[in-house]
């Protein structure tokens, strides 16, 4: 009875999540299409009609593609769970790997094989997005050789880092008793913090080149800003983002003494020194308001709750059978429980997304206000406008779609807030 109830709840949550996604995407596309032929009055003197229509067309193309990928992802998730895909994969590996190589090899092979199959199913959509949509609108700089190289590097990093972490978590699940989830959370949290230190110097350089900021005048300006804001970084770097995309960005990475500031070369090519300083001041606003720490604390807290829930569910037979899988009798079920939990959780937590998006938008407004206090707000406003135009971000999104999905406020709201602050 409990298994049947879980199957029903999961099916309802899965279909409801897909229905809400389709409804919101349809609203977004209708709203953007309805405003395609007129630039919003607030931007009439700064954005051309051609640029506005390009942004609308890009949004519509991404929206139509998003409907297809959402439907496919829902079918795949249904196939893995209630239609028995994961049960078939698990049964085959239990019969072929576990008797010969043991429990740990079987469990790692289950996680790795699942990840490879899931990646292969997503690959055609990633390629279409890159070589058709991004290519059509002039953003893509990737080649097939680069895609192949990135894929191989990604698999290597996943094997070198992911498999040992998975082995550690599985060992903890099997060896530390009923409170395994607490020890697993401590191990996962420690790994995430270690990754923040290793990523800038070990992982990121595998995919991009990072060179010290060559412009001495801009470097002096940026260092003066960071000094005023009390921010210490290990270095200022330029990343060759233009090798892969025409999109522009800047970010902080690392933890503690390993922090570094990274500018995309595309950003430096598009913005004036004053605008670059204003964008960096915005990023420093996140640092000053401890937004990163707050988000990390929220993620760590949610992961603790999730692992505690998994600790209970993994002991319930109906958790497995209700999601289309027969638990193992002669092999451990830890890896199977991890996969099922990761598959089943998103439909049930989908409606929590707007809360996280709202918090993120609030942080963006706070960072903008801080940037206006440390740099020229007019430079920040012009930089935001340039980045919106260069990235083909629509100026007329559907308000409800914004509230549900947008982690950054739309341009109209951000620029209106900047005007109120005297920018």
Instruction: Tell me, rounded to whole angstroms, the distance of Cα 358 from its chain centroid.
Output: 16
Cα–Cα nearest to 208, from 232, 237, 233: 237
Q: Is residue 320 over pLDDT 50?
A: yes
- Indicate the SS3 state at residue 308: helix
Q: Is residue 423 over pLDDT 60?
A: no
Decide if 283 is catalytic: yes
The pLDDT > 90 percentage for the chain reads 60
Q: Is residue 365 over pLDDT 50?
A: yes
Give the residue-averaged pLDDT of 60-75.
96
How far apart CA 92 and CA 82 sit, in angstroms, is 18
Q: What are 70-126's pLDDT values in tens digits?
A: 999 999 999 999 999 999 999 999 999 999 999 999 999 999 999 999 999 999 999
pLDDT bucket at 422, cuts 50 / 70 / 90: low
Higher pLDDT, 50 or 202: 50
pLDDT at residue number 258: 64
How far apart CA 414 and CA 423 sit, in angstroms, is 11
Q: Is residue 297 over pLDDT 80?
A: yes
Q: What are 212-241's pLDDT values in tens digits?
A: 888 888 888 888 888 888 887 777 888 888
User: How much is the pTM?
Assistant: 0.89
51-60, 219-228, 254-263: least confidently modelled range: 254-263
Cβ neighbors of 296 (< 8 A, separation 6 or more) are 192
How far apart CA 401 and CA 372 sit, in angstroms, is 28
Say if residues 10 and 344 touch (Cβ distance below 8 Å): yes
Give the residue-averaged pLDDT of 186-199.
89
Walk across the sheet containing 250-253 and list its strands: 210-212, 236-239, 260-264, 250-253
pLDDT at residue number 311: 94
Kindly report the average pLDDT of the chain as a whole number. 90
Give the residue-averaged pLDDT of 150-165.
91
Residue with structure tokens 């025409």? 246
Q: What are 167-177's pLDDT values in tens digits?
A: 999 999 999 98
List 275, 283, 364, 389, catalytic entry: 283
Q: Which contacts of 291-296 are long-range, i.e. CB under 8 A and separated by 24 or more positions?
A: 291/363, 291/366, 291/367, 292/252, 294/363, 296/192
Residue 264 forms beta bridges with which residues?
239
* Dihedrals phi, psi of 266, to nearest 5 degrees: -65, -35
Q: Which contacts of 388-391 are long-range, i.e. CB under 8 A and separated by 24 or more positions?
A: 388/55, 389/47, 389/51, 389/55, 390/246, 390/247, 390/248, 390/270, 391/247, 391/248
Higher pLDDT, 119 or 199: 119
β-strand pairing of 260-264 with 250-253: antiparallel
Give the residue-averaged pLDDT of 183-188.
96
Higher pLDDT, 247 or 274: 274
Cα–Cα nearest to 198, from 206, 239, 183: 206
How far apart CA 105 and CA 331 sit, in angstroms, is 11
Say if residues 247 and 221 touch (Cβ distance below 8 Å): no
How far apart CA 30 and CA 53 sit, in angstroms, is 14
Q: Taking CA 335 as the corner, what is the angle to CA 334 and CA 337, rounded to the nearest 5 degrees?
A: 65
């Amino acid at each position: 009875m409990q298994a049947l109830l879980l199957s029903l709840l999961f099916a309802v949550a899965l279909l409801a999540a897909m229905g809400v996604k389709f409804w919101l995407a349809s609203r977004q596309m209708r709203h953007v299409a309805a405003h395609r032929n007129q630039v919003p009055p607030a931007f009439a003197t700064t954005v051309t009609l051609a640029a506005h229509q390009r942004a609308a067309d890009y949004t519509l193309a991404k929206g139509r593609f998003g409907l297809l990928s959402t439907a496919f992802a829902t079918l795949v998730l249904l196939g893995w769970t209630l239609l028995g895909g994961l049960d078939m994969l698990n049964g085959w590996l239990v019969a072929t790997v576990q008797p010969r190589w043991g429990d740990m090899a079987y469990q790692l092979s289950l996680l790795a094989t699942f990840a490879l199959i899931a990646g292969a199913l997503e690959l055609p959509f990633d390629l279409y997005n890159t070589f058709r949509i991004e290519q059509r609108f002039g953003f893509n700089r990737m080649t097939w050789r680069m895609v192949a190289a990135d894929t191989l590097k990604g698999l290597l990093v996943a094997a070198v880092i992911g498999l040992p972490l998975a082995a550690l978590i599985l060992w903890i699940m099997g060896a530390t008793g009923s409170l395994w989830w607490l020890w697993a959370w401590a191990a996962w949290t420690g790994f995430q913090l270690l990754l923040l230190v290793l990523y800038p110097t070990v992982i990121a350089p595998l995919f991009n080149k990072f060179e010290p900021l060559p412009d001495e005048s801009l470097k002096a300006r940026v260092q003066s800003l960071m000094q005023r804001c009390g921010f210490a970084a290990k270095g200022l770097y330029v990343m060759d983002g233009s090798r892969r995309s025409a999109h522009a960005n800047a970010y902080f990475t690392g933890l503690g003494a390993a922090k570094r500031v990274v500018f995309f070369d595309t950003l430096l090519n598009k913005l004036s020194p004053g605008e670059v300083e204003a964008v960096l001041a915005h990023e420093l606003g996140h640092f000053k308001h401890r937004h990163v720490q707050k988000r990390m604390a929220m993620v760590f807290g949610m992961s603790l709750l999730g692992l505690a829930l998994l600790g209970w569910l993994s002991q319930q037979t109906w958790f497995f059978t209700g999601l289309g899988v027969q638990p193992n009798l002669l092999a451990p079920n830890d890896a199977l429980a991890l996969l099922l939990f990761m598959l089943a959780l998103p439909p049930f937590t989908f409606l929590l997304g707007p809360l996280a998006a709202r918090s993120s938008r609030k942080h963006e407004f706070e960072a903008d206000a801080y940037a206006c206090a440390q740099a020229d707000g007019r430079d920040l406003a012009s930089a935001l406008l340039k980045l919106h135009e260069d990235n083909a971000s629509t100026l007329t999104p559907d308000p409800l779609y914004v509230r549900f999905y947008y982690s950054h406020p739309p341009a109209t709201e951000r620029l209106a807030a900047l005007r109120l602050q005297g920018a």
